[in-house]
Amino acid sequence: MASGNTNHSTQTAAGLLTELSVNGMTCGNCARHVTEAIQSVPGVTSASVRLDAGRAAVRWQSAPDLPAVVAAVQAAGYEATPLETEGPKAQQRSAWSPLAGWQFNVVVGLAVTLPLIIGEWIFGLGMTPWFRWLAFALTLPVQIFCGARFYIGAWRQLKVRDSNMDTLVALGSTTAFGYSVWALFTGAGGHLYFMESAAIITLISLGHWIEARTSAKAEGSLQALLHLAPQRARRRNADGSEVEVPVRELQVNDTVVLKPGDHVPTDGEVSSGDSTVDESMLTGESLPVNKHPGDKVFAGTVNLNGQMLTRVTGTGEATALAHIIAAVARAQTSRAEIQRLGDRVSSVFVPIVVLIALATGLWWGLAPQQAQHVSAWLEKFLWPSAVPESVLAAAFIHAAAVLIIACPCAMGLATPAAIMAGTNAAARRGILIRDGMALERAGRITALIFDKTGTLTQGKPVVVSEEKYVVNQRRPAVDEMKLAAALARRSSHPLSQAIAKLHPDDFPFTNWEEIRGAGVQARLSLDNSSPVLVRLGSLRWLREAGVDLRQSRAFEEKWSAQGATLLGIAANPSLLGVLAVQDTLKPGAADVTRQLQNNGLHVYLVTGDNLLTAQAIAKQAGIPSQNVFAEVRPEQKAKFIEQLRAKGERVAFVGDGINDAPALEAADLGIAVSRASDVAREAADIILLNSEIEAVPEALGLSQATLRTIKQNLFWAFFYNAVGIPLAAFGFMSPILCAAAMGLSDLVVIGNALRLLRWRMRR
């Protein structure tokens, strides 16, 4: 492990990053074990392990603890060494080499195995003495140098009292090679299995090489995100000069110059200039977004056609891109509940297989006639079995075949490969999925609840009408609507912001308070009079507070029927006025609800608005009137979710994050319709970055497809072993065929998972 002043960490868009070289990984299962070991270290935010490069990227919440990570990896049976993370050397280390990684085994193994296959199968030289010695001479370096990775991996696992696929490959190949060496040197005669022992290592290495290449494709979205933010930026100094600096040197409030074609280096706010920005890599939205002074820009997006000056508002792990990267990385390396089944089987699988192989060898060695009789009977239903010439050879070779075909890689890859592909496919569409468990829950949803404001509606309400009332036969001392605007200005709720635009005036309020899901209130003292409690909020809330609303009944009925939200302004028990605030339905809302209902989901609308308004919006959106629940407080939304769950429904709640945290957390699945800048604070399982609910059916559909893929992968992995092990034990699969089948099983699982990257929503 390095010491001294060597720098192993760097600040990236995703925060503090440490890279390590990891030795001993031979398959996706190994990479998963390394990932879990690293993530168990306190302070680690996420870990991304690349099997093809033998690298691990570790992101930290606080100061890196490299010794703890190295120790955790070693405890899992692997070796880890911190690497430099900056400069051209890092790029040079990852350059492709024909003899690096699994390529060495494939190149050398094929150079030996192909001549042996040609000699035995085409020219029939298998029993020729000189060819037998040549086979030994050629196979020995394959066994020593190419097999070293398997032997070292098996030994490392043995030291930590564990076993994995390396154990099975090492035992199987050594069994075939050891028997052949014994038969050659003792002159025992019969067929030798040097070709088979070399082919086992070669074919399995070829399978791992292809597996590593295809697995790398599943990491594509995360790798693309990591490279979105540029490494350098143009900083404008106080004297007006410009200097190009590394992005890590930028600080909050620095001014950055963006020219057409530049990638935005950090989150910021446009201080001058107008342009359009491509945000598709973050939100999945293909149309460019217009940017003017005061608008926000995000790291990794692309400035298209104008020059802008931006003020830095977030750097490093504080950027939206960093939060998105962390979310994708966390999801890729997370686990689903369904994975526990595979884990329980895998934990005892290798020891059981070794026992089965031992039993197979003893059966063929001690009761050969019985074994051959059973094999001959099964030939009637299968195909001719390949029984070695001698009893001893049959015992060794059939035991080796069992060891080779029973590799648990496919079982271990079944769930992680599908989760990685599914979360990447979602990220490309601007859908962030928190983890594998959220993905799994999303695939099992039966009911979906929509919030109204900002979710089904545009979230940009405007005041369409207002009505003022006389109190005690005289007008109030202040203008009612000016008072309402001043009360609303301190709130960030969309309805409050719409009212705040009515007037710029302010008042000397005291004890201002926002009542979640109800409204705002404060005390106001004018002309040295005693303080008056003034309220702005829903009519239901005012009614509960004792305000007389009889004057507003006609106004309320008129505008509620048109889908407007009614808010009242009151002083003590007196109603001063009512405002009708209207928000338009999102253009695709009706299509979304129709699509969800066509897919068998029960769709509900739950809102704090009055019943008439809620029914009007529901009718436009195509939600059945019996599924509309109005005048529901935020905390009551969570209770309503519990009621549906008690009826056996698996509930998803879709909200915009404003006052929706209790419901998002109470639901089986929380879906937040958000903006990239809000990613860090959402209490949701799925975040839709482009704020369009058209992505809701897509997110649920992709989750269902991922869950279906996981089940398919697990079925294939179990079926493969359930069929393959007996066939090998009864002599119907040679070690070479077993090695090919083992590699094929991994590729089937990964290939099935990669289909998710091309998944499309059926309309």
Q: So which residues are the catalytic ones? A: 451
Give the tokens for residue 322.
Answer: 């960093």
Tell me the CA distances in angstroms from 597 to 181, 374, 600, 697, 704, one per residue in order: 68, 56, 5, 10, 15
Strand 232-236 with 242-246, pairing: antiparallel
Q: If you ran DSSP here, which 8-state letter would residue 691 be given?
A: -
> CA 422, CA 415: separation in Å to the nearest integer?
10
DSSP letters along 8-55, please? Answer: -EEEETTEEEEEEEEES--SHHHHHHHHHHHHTSTTEEEEEEETTTTE
> CA 530, CA 88: separation in Å to the nearest integer?
72
Phi/psi of residue 466, nearest 5 degrees: -150, 155
List the 651-655 sheet strands across, edge first. Answer: 431-433, 686-688, 669-673, 651-655, 447-450, 602-606, 628-629
Instruction: Identify the helix (H) or strand (E) that includes residue 698.
Output: helix 695-729
Strand 308-314 with 255-258, pairing: antiparallel
CB 502 within 8 A of CB 485: yes
Tell me the CA distances in angstroms from 24 to 99, 101, 150, 301, one per residue in order: 17, 11, 8, 38
Residue in the block written with tokens 């025992």: 188
CB 610 within 8 A of CB 572: no
- Spell 682-712 as b/e; 16+ CB within 10 A means b: bebbbbbbbbbbbbbbbbbbbbbbbbebbeb
DSSP-assigned beta bridge partners for residue 570: 535, 575
Tell me the CA distances in angstroms from 605 to 390, 455, 635, one per residue in order: 75, 10, 15
Residue 86 CB-half CA count within 13 A? 12
DSSP letters along 396-456, please? Answer: HHHHHHHHHHT--HHHHHHHHHHHHHHHHHHHHTTEEE--HHHHHHHTT--EEEE-IIIII
CB 440 within 8 A of CB 238: no
What residue type is assigned to position 382 of the chain?
Answer: L
Largest CA distance in the chain: 121
Q: If you ran DSSP here, which 8-state letter would residue 100 be given?
A: S
3-state DSSP percent of the chain in helix, strand and coil, to 5: 50, 20, 30
